[in-house]
Structure 1
């Protein structure tokens, strides 16, 4: 009896595209195809894939750094100055919006569910790489059950990562330290 042949792998992208040639993901090796459907849902356009991969890599690196490195070393890397700022406010806002979207799209889909601290570190590094100055905030507040902490990253007056900051959240740390450029805390 001859069994019908089943393809051994299926590419998610056409092999003629850059993403297809770099990322030939065999569906059978992924398992039941959940990763393939996740990628298809969050990739709006092919141009988004590199940004999503960068966000996933930065979230992974930040999670590992938080678990393996001293806090002062992590903060030292977060405080490095941005290189060559983008020209114009519109360009800066567009970069911030894309990074906010990429971090927000990747974080809930990673198996370890990175929360605000790795998201803030990842966003800070991605913004700095593109020359966008940003401020990393670490805050805490007292609650009935104890203390809760939160991290958020701002570009001037807008929160990029960390969502709405509670009014009773006290800033414990700001990286880089307070300067003339303002912030959103």
Structure 2
């Protein structure tokens, strides 16, 4: 435990702030998933049909998106509640939208030994922010966007 605290304080002030925001937002998103219908949860987002197209991000936006993704992954590993892929994707959406960075999140399904599995991941431009591990085996069933994608 002491080692984790020391590691936290070795982070820059900016990284600590992002970690704390991610931790808090993961909790809010987990509570929302448990208490609100998915349809209502994604209502503010646009259902996106331009799969495969993306917007170029500035270098500053890319750095921020990567920093947010890192903070979410770090915070998700330390929450006492389940912070699975959907919680992380929605957290990324909230944190990125707050900073005016456009992106999309995907919902996919795959069959695994007679069971259906689902996965969610988020992306900004060509950068995978959350849920990138193994996303290639999932068939995309829905894509939701926020931000500037309506300009494409």
Same fold flag (TM > 0.5): yes
The answer to whether residue 30 in structure 2 is matched with residue 63 in structure 1 is yes
**Structure 2-normalised TM-score?**
0.82
Higher RCO (C-alpha under 8 Å, 6+ residues apart): 2
SS of the residue 2:119 aligns to: strand
The answer to whether the 8 Å contact 1:42/1:105 transfers is no
- Distance in 2 between residues matched to 1:158 and 1:53, nearest whole Å: 23
Larger Rg: 1
Runs of 4+ in 1 over 6 A off after TM superposition: 177-180
Could you say which residue in structure 1 is the equivalent of 2:143? 174
- Residue in 2 aligned with 1:50? 17
* 1:6-155 map, 5 Å: 34=1, 37-43=3-9, 44-79=11-46, 89-155=58-124
Where structure 1 has 5 or more consecutive residues not aligned to the other structure, the ranges are: 1-33, 81-87
Q: Which runs of 5+ in 2 are unaligned?
A: 48-56
C-alpha RMSD of matched pairs (Å): 2.3
In 1, Cα distance between equivalents of 2:130 and 2:114: 25
Cα distance in structure 1, aligned partners of 2:23 and 2:135: 27
Q: How many residues align?
A: 140
